[in-house]
Amino acid sequence: MKLLQQKTSAYKEPQRVEALGLYPFFRVIESDQDTVVTMHGKPVLMFGSNSYMGLTTHPKIKEAARQAIVKYGSGCAGSRFLNGTLDIHIQLEEELARFVRKEAALVFSTGFQVNIGVIPTIASRNDYILIDELDHASIIEACRLSFARVLKFRHNDMASLEKMLKQCAPGRIKLIVVDGVFSMDGDIADLPQIVRLAEQYEATIMVDDAHSIGVLGENGSGTASHFELTDKVDLIMGTFSKSLASIGGFIASDWDTINYIKHHSRSLIFSASITPASAATVLAALEIIREEPERIEKLWSLTRYTIDQFSILGFDIGKTVTPIIPIYIRDNMKTLILTRMLLDEGIFVNPIVPPAVKKNAALIRFSLMATHTPEQIDRALDAFHRIGKKLEII
Protein backbone atom coordinates (compact mmCIF):
# COMPACT_ATOMS: atom_id res chain seq x y z
CA MET A 1 0.00 0.00 0.00
CA LYS A 2 1.34 3.45 -0.92
CA LEU A 3 1.91 6.05 1.77
CA LEU A 4 -1.08 8.11 0.62
CA GLN A 5 -3.41 5.14 0.92
CA GLN A 6 -1.96 4.33 4.34
CA LYS A 7 -2.79 7.84 5.48
CA THR A 8 -6.29 7.98 4.01
CA SER A 9 -7.33 4.46 4.97
CA ALA A 10 -6.38 5.14 8.59
CA TYR A 11 -8.91 7.99 8.78
CA LYS A 12 -12.03 6.38 10.27
CA GLU A 13 -13.61 9.13 12.38
CA PRO A 14 -16.55 9.84 10.02
CA GLN A 15 -17.36 6.12 9.85
CA ARG A 16 -17.22 5.87 13.64
CA VAL A 17 -19.68 8.73 14.10
CA GLU A 18 -21.89 7.43 11.28
CA ALA A 19 -22.07 4.01 12.97
CA LEU A 20 -23.50 5.79 16.02
CA GLY A 21 -26.19 7.36 13.83
CA LEU A 22 -24.83 10.84 14.60
CA TYR A 23 -22.99 11.87 11.42
CA PRO A 24 -24.23 15.45 10.77
CA PHE A 25 -22.49 16.52 7.57
CA PHE A 26 -23.30 16.36 3.84
CA ARG A 27 -26.98 15.92 4.68
CA VAL A 28 -28.99 15.85 1.46
CA ILE A 29 -31.71 18.44 0.82
CA GLU A 30 -34.23 17.68 -1.91
CA SER A 31 -35.78 21.14 -2.32
CA ASP A 32 -34.95 24.82 -2.55
CA GLN A 33 -33.20 26.59 0.34
CA ASP A 34 -36.09 28.16 2.23
CA THR A 35 -37.32 28.27 5.82
CA VAL A 36 -38.72 24.78 5.19
CA VAL A 37 -36.72 22.25 3.18
CA THR A 38 -37.39 18.67 2.16
CA MET A 39 -35.20 15.83 3.47
CA HIS A 40 -36.04 12.17 2.82
CA GLY A 41 -39.38 13.36 1.48
CA LYS A 42 -40.32 15.13 4.75
CA PRO A 43 -40.52 18.85 5.65
CA VAL A 44 -37.77 20.17 7.92
CA LEU A 45 -37.46 23.64 9.43
CA MET A 46 -34.20 25.22 8.25
CA PHE A 47 -32.20 27.04 10.91
CA GLY A 48 -28.79 26.35 9.40
CA SER A 49 -28.85 28.59 6.32
CA ASN A 50 -26.82 31.72 5.57
CA SER A 51 -29.63 33.14 3.43
CA TYR A 52 -30.24 35.95 5.91
CA MET A 53 -32.51 37.91 3.56
CA GLY A 54 -34.39 34.77 2.50
CA LEU A 55 -34.02 35.62 -1.18
CA THR A 56 -33.05 32.31 -2.77
CA THR A 57 -36.66 31.58 -3.74
CA HIS A 58 -37.71 35.14 -4.60
CA PRO A 59 -39.50 35.28 -8.00
CA LYS A 60 -37.37 38.23 -9.18
CA ILE A 61 -34.19 36.28 -8.41
CA LYS A 62 -35.33 33.26 -10.39
CA GLU A 63 -36.49 35.36 -13.34
CA ALA A 64 -33.20 37.29 -13.44
CA ALA A 65 -31.29 34.00 -13.64
CA ARG A 66 -33.53 32.72 -16.43
CA GLN A 67 -33.15 35.88 -18.50
CA ALA A 68 -29.37 35.87 -18.09
CA ILE A 69 -29.11 32.29 -19.34
CA VAL A 70 -31.26 33.11 -22.36
CA LYS A 71 -29.08 36.13 -23.25
CA TYR A 72 -25.58 34.94 -22.29
CA GLY A 73 -25.77 31.15 -22.04
CA SER A 74 -24.72 29.05 -19.08
CA GLY A 75 -21.08 30.13 -18.62
CA CYS A 76 -18.27 32.39 -19.76
CA ALA A 77 -15.67 29.74 -20.72
CA GLY A 78 -12.75 31.73 -19.42
CA SER A 79 -11.30 34.06 -16.82
CA ARG A 80 -12.14 37.71 -16.38
CA PHE A 81 -8.58 38.53 -17.41
CA LEU A 82 -9.03 37.11 -20.91
CA ASN A 83 -12.34 36.22 -22.56
CA GLY A 84 -14.62 35.93 -19.51
CA THR A 85 -15.68 39.54 -18.86
CA LEU A 86 -19.28 40.33 -19.79
CA ASP A 87 -21.05 43.66 -19.62
CA ILE A 88 -23.15 42.26 -16.77
CA HIS A 89 -19.97 41.74 -14.72
CA ILE A 90 -19.05 45.39 -15.17
CA GLN A 91 -22.58 46.46 -14.27
CA LEU A 92 -22.44 44.34 -11.14
CA GLU A 93 -19.09 45.78 -10.06
CA GLU A 94 -20.40 49.32 -10.49
CA GLU A 95 -23.51 48.49 -8.44
CA LEU A 96 -21.45 46.87 -5.68
CA ALA A 97 -19.12 49.86 -5.46
CA ARG A 98 -22.13 52.16 -5.05
CA PHE A 99 -23.69 49.79 -2.54
CA VAL A 100 -20.72 49.85 -0.16
CA ARG A 101 -19.71 53.42 -1.11
CA LYS A 102 -16.28 52.72 -2.54
CA GLU A 103 -14.73 53.92 -5.79
CA ALA A 104 -14.50 50.52 -7.42
CA ALA A 105 -15.21 46.82 -6.92
CA LEU A 106 -13.96 43.57 -8.41
CA VAL A 107 -15.95 40.33 -8.64
CA PHE A 108 -14.40 36.89 -8.02
CA SER A 109 -15.84 33.41 -8.54
CA THR A 110 -16.27 32.73 -4.78
CA GLY A 111 -15.79 34.55 -1.50
CA PHE A 112 -12.98 32.17 -0.59
CA GLN A 113 -11.24 33.15 -3.85
CA VAL A 114 -11.49 36.81 -2.89
CA ASN A 115 -9.56 36.37 0.33
CA ILE A 116 -6.88 34.06 -1.02
CA GLY A 117 -6.51 36.33 -4.04
CA VAL A 118 -6.49 39.72 -2.35
CA ILE A 119 -4.61 39.28 0.92
CA PRO A 120 -1.38 37.75 -0.49
CA THR A 121 -1.48 40.23 -3.37
CA ILE A 122 -1.42 43.37 -1.23
CA ALA A 123 0.75 42.07 1.65
CA SER A 124 3.99 40.57 0.41
CA ARG A 125 7.49 39.83 1.71
CA ASN A 126 8.56 42.10 4.61
CA ASP A 127 4.95 43.27 5.12
CA TYR A 128 2.61 42.29 7.98
CA ILE A 129 -0.85 40.73 8.19
CA LEU A 130 -2.67 41.07 11.51
CA ILE A 131 -5.67 38.80 11.98
CA ASP A 132 -8.24 38.10 14.67
CA GLU A 133 -7.85 34.57 16.04
CA LEU A 134 -11.46 33.82 15.05
CA ASP A 135 -11.20 35.06 11.46
CA HIS A 136 -12.68 32.84 8.75
CA ALA A 137 -10.74 29.88 7.38
CA SER A 138 -10.34 31.61 4.01
CA ILE A 139 -8.38 34.38 5.71
CA ILE A 140 -6.18 31.82 7.42
CA GLU A 141 -5.49 30.13 4.07
CA ALA A 142 -4.76 33.49 2.49
CA CYS A 143 -2.13 34.15 5.16
CA ARG A 144 -0.50 30.81 4.37
CA LEU A 145 -0.18 31.88 0.74
CA SER A 146 1.43 35.20 1.59
CA PHE A 147 5.12 35.82 2.18
CA ALA A 148 4.18 38.47 4.74
CA ARG A 149 4.68 37.95 8.46
CA VAL A 150 1.38 36.93 10.08
CA LEU A 151 0.50 38.15 13.58
CA LYS A 152 -2.61 36.82 15.32
CA PHE A 153 -4.34 38.82 18.07
CA ARG A 154 -6.89 37.63 20.63
CA HIS A 155 -10.50 37.82 19.56
CA ASN A 156 -11.76 41.41 19.54
CA ASP A 157 -9.02 42.29 22.03
CA MET A 158 -7.69 45.73 21.16
CA ALA A 159 -4.83 45.58 23.66
CA SER A 160 -3.68 42.39 21.94
CA LEU A 161 -3.97 44.04 18.52
CA GLU A 162 -1.96 47.04 19.66
CA LYS A 163 0.74 44.74 21.04
CA MET A 164 0.98 43.11 17.61
CA LEU A 165 1.10 46.48 15.83
CA LYS A 166 4.01 47.55 18.03
CA GLN A 167 5.97 44.55 16.73
CA CYS A 168 5.72 45.76 13.14
CA ALA A 169 8.66 47.53 11.57
CA PRO A 170 8.00 51.04 10.23
CA GLY A 171 7.74 51.66 6.52
CA ARG A 172 5.96 48.36 5.79
CA ILE A 173 2.38 47.54 4.91
CA LYS A 174 0.44 46.51 8.01
CA LEU A 175 -2.81 44.88 6.90
CA ILE A 176 -5.43 44.30 9.61
CA VAL A 177 -8.00 41.74 8.44
CA VAL A 178 -11.14 41.04 10.47
CA ASP A 179 -14.55 39.49 9.98
CA GLY A 180 -17.27 42.12 10.25
CA VAL A 181 -19.65 39.60 11.80
CA PHE A 182 -17.86 36.51 13.10
CA SER A 183 -19.40 33.50 11.42
CA MET A 184 -19.59 31.19 14.44
CA ASP A 185 -19.93 33.49 17.45
CA GLY A 186 -22.22 36.07 15.86
CA ASP A 187 -20.51 39.07 17.44
CA ILE A 188 -19.29 42.15 15.58
CA ALA A 189 -15.71 43.37 15.14
CA ASP A 190 -14.80 46.35 17.31
CA LEU A 191 -14.29 48.46 14.21
CA PRO A 192 -14.18 51.89 15.92
CA GLN A 193 -11.20 50.83 18.01
CA ILE A 194 -9.56 49.03 15.10
CA VAL A 195 -9.80 52.26 13.10
CA ARG A 196 -8.29 54.21 15.99
CA LEU A 197 -5.31 51.85 16.18
CA ALA A 198 -4.91 51.72 12.41
CA GLU A 199 -4.64 55.49 12.27
CA GLN A 200 -2.19 55.55 15.14
CA TYR A 201 0.08 52.90 13.62
CA GLU A 202 -0.50 53.72 9.93
CA ALA A 203 -2.14 50.38 9.17
CA THR A 204 -4.54 49.32 6.43
CA ILE A 205 -7.93 47.78 7.27
CA MET A 206 -9.74 45.02 5.37
CA VAL A 207 -13.16 43.88 6.60
CA ASP A 208 -14.61 40.52 5.54
CA ASP A 209 -18.33 41.30 5.34
CA ALA A 210 -19.46 37.84 4.23
CA HIS A 211 -21.97 37.68 7.09
CA SER A 212 -22.60 41.44 7.33
CA ILE A 213 -23.91 42.20 3.84
CA GLY A 214 -27.70 42.34 4.03
CA VAL A 215 -27.55 42.39 7.82
CA LEU A 216 -25.63 45.44 9.08
CA GLY A 217 -25.45 49.04 7.95
CA GLU A 218 -27.55 51.24 5.70
CA ASN A 219 -29.56 48.99 3.36
CA GLY A 220 -27.44 46.09 4.61
CA SER A 221 -24.24 47.54 3.17
CA GLY A 222 -21.99 46.15 5.90
CA THR A 223 -20.00 46.72 9.06
CA ALA A 224 -18.25 49.93 8.05
CA SER A 225 -21.61 51.51 7.25
CA HIS A 226 -23.01 50.22 10.55
CA PHE A 227 -20.35 52.19 12.44
CA GLU A 228 -20.34 55.10 9.93
CA LEU A 229 -16.69 54.39 9.19
CA THR A 230 -16.78 53.56 5.49
CA ASP A 231 -14.18 56.19 4.63
CA LYS A 232 -11.83 54.75 7.29
CA VAL A 233 -11.97 51.13 6.04
CA ASP A 234 -9.63 50.57 3.10
CA LEU A 235 -11.02 47.31 1.69
CA ILE A 236 -14.48 45.78 2.01
CA MET A 237 -14.94 42.13 1.04
CA GLY A 238 -18.27 40.40 0.59
CA THR A 239 -19.82 37.20 -0.67
CA PHE A 240 -22.88 36.48 -2.78
CA SER A 241 -23.73 33.12 -1.21
CA LYS A 242 -25.39 34.52 1.90
CA SER A 243 -27.80 37.45 1.71
CA LEU A 244 -27.32 37.95 -2.04
CA ALA A 245 -28.71 34.52 -2.98
CA SER A 246 -26.05 33.47 -5.47
CA ILE A 247 -22.41 32.37 -5.62
CA GLY A 248 -19.29 34.53 -5.89
CA GLY A 249 -17.61 37.34 -4.01
CA PHE A 250 -16.18 40.83 -4.35
CA ILE A 251 -13.60 43.26 -3.04
CA ALA A 252 -14.25 47.01 -2.98
CA SER A 253 -11.73 49.78 -2.41
CA ASP A 254 -10.27 52.87 -4.06
CA TRP A 255 -9.71 52.75 -7.81
CA ASP A 256 -5.91 52.34 -7.66
CA THR A 257 -6.08 49.42 -5.23
CA ILE A 258 -8.69 47.61 -7.31
CA ASN A 259 -6.64 48.22 -10.45
CA TYR A 260 -3.59 46.70 -8.75
CA ILE A 261 -5.51 43.65 -7.53
CA LYS A 262 -7.12 43.18 -10.95
CA HIS A 263 -3.69 42.79 -12.56
CA HIS A 264 -1.92 40.79 -9.83
CA SER A 265 -4.43 38.48 -8.08
CA ARG A 266 -3.84 34.91 -9.19
CA SER A 267 -7.22 33.60 -8.02
CA LEU A 268 -8.87 36.17 -10.28
CA ILE A 269 -6.58 35.87 -13.31
CA PHE A 270 -6.47 32.07 -13.31
CA SER A 271 -10.09 31.29 -12.36
CA ALA A 272 -13.16 31.31 -14.57
CA SER A 273 -15.53 34.21 -14.04
CA ILE A 274 -18.88 33.78 -12.32
CA THR A 275 -21.74 32.63 -14.51
CA PRO A 276 -24.10 35.17 -16.10
CA ALA A 277 -26.97 33.78 -14.02
CA SER A 278 -24.97 34.30 -10.82
CA ALA A 279 -24.20 37.92 -11.72
CA ALA A 280 -27.80 38.60 -12.65
CA THR A 281 -29.17 37.17 -9.41
CA VAL A 282 -26.87 39.39 -7.35
CA LEU A 283 -28.05 42.46 -9.26
CA ALA A 284 -31.63 41.42 -8.60
CA ALA A 285 -30.90 40.79 -4.91
CA LEU A 286 -29.36 44.25 -4.49
CA GLU A 287 -32.45 45.77 -6.06
CA ILE A 288 -34.78 43.82 -3.77
CA ILE A 289 -32.83 44.83 -0.68
CA ARG A 290 -33.13 48.48 -1.69
CA GLU A 291 -36.83 48.19 -2.51
CA GLU A 292 -37.83 46.05 0.49
CA PRO A 293 -36.10 47.52 3.57
CA GLU A 294 -38.71 45.81 5.71
CA ARG A 295 -36.77 42.56 5.20
CA ILE A 296 -33.85 43.81 7.27
CA GLU A 297 -36.21 45.27 9.87
CA LYS A 298 -37.99 41.93 10.20
CA LEU A 299 -34.70 40.03 10.43
CA TRP A 300 -33.61 42.21 13.35
CA SER A 301 -36.97 41.90 15.07
CA LEU A 302 -36.74 38.11 14.86
CA THR A 303 -33.12 38.23 16.00
CA ARG A 304 -33.86 40.23 19.15
CA TYR A 305 -36.76 37.95 20.02
CA THR A 306 -34.81 34.72 19.50
CA ILE A 307 -31.74 35.89 21.42
CA ASP A 308 -33.96 36.91 24.34
CA GLN A 309 -35.81 33.57 24.33
CA PHE A 310 -32.66 31.43 24.23
CA SER A 311 -31.30 33.46 27.17
CA ILE A 312 -34.54 33.06 29.13
CA LEU A 313 -34.43 29.29 28.56
CA GLY A 314 -30.95 29.22 30.09
CA PHE A 315 -28.80 28.47 27.05
CA ASP A 316 -25.28 29.87 26.77
CA ILE A 317 -25.30 32.00 23.61
CA GLY A 318 -22.11 33.96 24.20
CA LYS A 319 -21.88 37.56 22.99
CA THR A 320 -23.92 37.32 19.80
CA VAL A 321 -25.90 40.36 18.71
CA THR A 322 -26.73 39.17 15.17
CA PRO A 323 -28.87 36.54 13.37
CA ILE A 324 -26.05 34.06 13.98
CA ILE A 325 -26.83 32.56 17.37
CA PRO A 326 -24.33 30.09 18.86
CA ILE A 327 -25.72 27.68 21.44
CA TYR A 328 -22.63 26.56 23.34
CA ILE A 329 -22.79 22.92 24.38
CA ARG A 330 -19.04 22.54 25.08
CA ASP A 331 -19.27 18.77 24.67
CA ASN A 332 -18.68 17.21 21.26
CA MET A 333 -20.87 14.13 21.73
CA LYS A 334 -23.78 16.06 23.25
CA THR A 335 -23.56 18.52 20.35
CA LEU A 336 -23.93 15.69 17.84
CA ILE A 337 -26.70 14.02 19.83
CA LEU A 338 -28.64 17.29 20.13
CA THR A 339 -28.27 17.87 16.36
CA ARG A 340 -29.63 14.38 15.64
CA MET A 341 -32.53 14.69 18.08
CA LEU A 342 -33.50 18.08 16.66
CA LEU A 343 -33.47 16.70 13.12
CA ASP A 344 -35.70 13.83 14.27
CA GLU A 345 -38.18 16.52 15.31
CA GLY A 346 -37.86 18.31 11.96
CA ILE A 347 -35.37 21.03 13.00
CA PHE A 348 -32.18 21.50 10.94
CA VAL A 349 -29.22 23.14 12.71
CA ASN A 350 -25.47 23.02 12.20
CA PRO A 351 -23.17 21.38 14.78
CA ILE A 352 -19.76 23.03 15.09
CA VAL A 353 -17.05 20.95 16.74
CA PRO A 354 -13.24 21.12 16.86
CA PRO A 355 -11.17 21.91 14.86
CA ALA A 356 -13.73 24.41 13.52
CA VAL A 357 -13.83 25.84 17.06
CA LYS A 358 -11.51 25.60 20.04
CA LYS A 359 -11.44 22.59 22.32
CA ASN A 360 -14.39 22.60 24.75
CA ALA A 361 -16.20 25.19 22.58
CA ALA A 362 -18.51 22.87 20.61
CA LEU A 363 -21.74 24.62 19.69
CA ILE A 364 -24.91 24.55 17.66
CA ARG A 365 -24.99 27.31 15.05
CA PHE A 366 -28.58 28.57 14.84
CA SER A 367 -29.17 31.15 12.10
CA LEU A 368 -32.18 33.19 11.12
CA MET A 369 -33.71 34.35 7.84
CA ALA A 370 -35.96 37.34 7.32
CA THR A 371 -38.59 34.93 6.00
CA HIS A 372 -38.83 32.85 9.18
CA THR A 373 -42.10 33.19 11.06
CA PRO A 374 -42.44 33.61 14.85
CA GLU A 375 -44.33 30.31 14.90
CA GLN A 376 -41.41 28.48 13.26
CA ILE A 377 -38.98 30.00 15.75
CA ASP A 378 -41.20 29.08 18.70
CA ARG A 379 -41.38 25.49 17.47
CA ALA A 380 -37.59 25.32 17.35
CA LEU A 381 -37.26 26.94 20.78
CA ASP A 382 -39.67 24.41 22.25
CA ALA A 383 -37.64 21.52 20.82
CA PHE A 384 -34.39 23.03 22.12
CA HIS A 385 -35.92 23.46 25.56
CA ARG A 386 -37.24 19.90 25.86
CA ILE A 387 -34.14 18.20 24.43
CA GLY A 388 -31.77 20.55 26.25
CA LYS A 389 -33.29 19.55 29.61
CA LYS A 390 -33.23 15.89 28.67
CA LEU A 391 -29.51 16.07 27.80
CA GLU A 392 -28.86 18.21 30.92
CA ILE A 393 -27.53 21.09 28.83
CA ILE A 394 -29.82 23.49 30.69
Residue 208 shares a structural domain with residue 325:
no
> Strand pairing of 347-348 and 42-46?
parallel
Q: What is the pLDDT at residue 292?
A: 95
| Mean of pLDDT values over 327-348 | 97
Q: What is the pLDDT at residue 359?
A: 87
Three-state DSSP at 73 gives coil
**Any domain includes 2:** no
Residues 340/23, Cβ–Cβ less than 8 Å: no
Residue 128: domain span: 59-291
Q: What is the pLDDT at residue 120?
A: 98
What is the distance between the alpha carbons of residues 214 and 246, in angstroms, rounded to a whole number?
13
Name the percent of the chain in helix, strand, coil, to the closest 5: 45, 15, 40
Containing 139, the helix (H) or strand (E) segment is helix 137-145
Q: What is the mean pLDDT of the chain?
A: 97
Q: What is the pLDDT at residue 237?
A: 98
Residue 287 shares a structural domain with residue 338:
no
> Residue 341 pLDDT > 90, yes or no?
yes
Among candidate residues 249, 268, 291, the one where a domain is terminated: 291
303 contacts: CB under 8 Å, gap ≥ 6: 322, 323, 325, 368
Four-point Cα dihedral 48, 50, 54, 60, nearest 10:
-130
As annotated, the active-site residues are 183, 211, 242
For residue 303, give the CATH number of its domain: 3.90.1150.10
Residue 125 shares a structural domain with residue 27:
no
CA distances, 120 to each of 148, 156, 175, 255 (Å): 8, 23, 10, 19
Residue 220 DSSP label: G
> Residue 1 pLDDT > 90, yes or no?
no
Among candidate residues 269, 291, 313, the one where a domain is terminated: 291
Residues 216/225, Cβ–Cβ less than 8 Å: yes
Residues 348/39, Cβ–Cβ less than 8 Å: yes
Residues 64/280, Cβ–Cβ less than 8 Å: yes
For residue 87, give the CATH number of its domain: 3.40.640.10
Residue 39 shares a structural domain with residue 116:
no
Residue 172 shares a structural domain with residue 66:
yes
User: pLDDT digit string (tens) for 186-243?
Assistant: 999 999 999 999 999 999 999 999 999 999 999 999 999 999 999 999 999 999 999 9
**Any domain includes 7:** no
Q: What is the pLDDT at residue 37?
A: 98
Residues 195/232, Cβ–Cβ less than 8 Å: yes
User: pLDDT digit string (tens) for 17-63?
Assistant: 999 999 999 999 999 999 999 999 999 999 999 999 999 999 999 99
> Residue 358 pLDDT > 90, yes or no?
no
> Residue 355 pLDDT > 90, yes or no?
no
Among candidate residues 236, 256, 291, the one where a domain is terminated: 291
92 contacts: CB under 8 Å, gap ≥ 6: 107, 279, 282, 283
Q: How confident is the model at residue 368 (pLDDT cuts 50, 70, 90)?
A: very high
The tally of domains found in the chain comes to 2
| Mean of pLDDT values over 126-141 | 97
Residue 27 shares a structural domain with residue 156:
no
10: left (phi over 0), alpha (psi -120 to 50) or beta: alpha
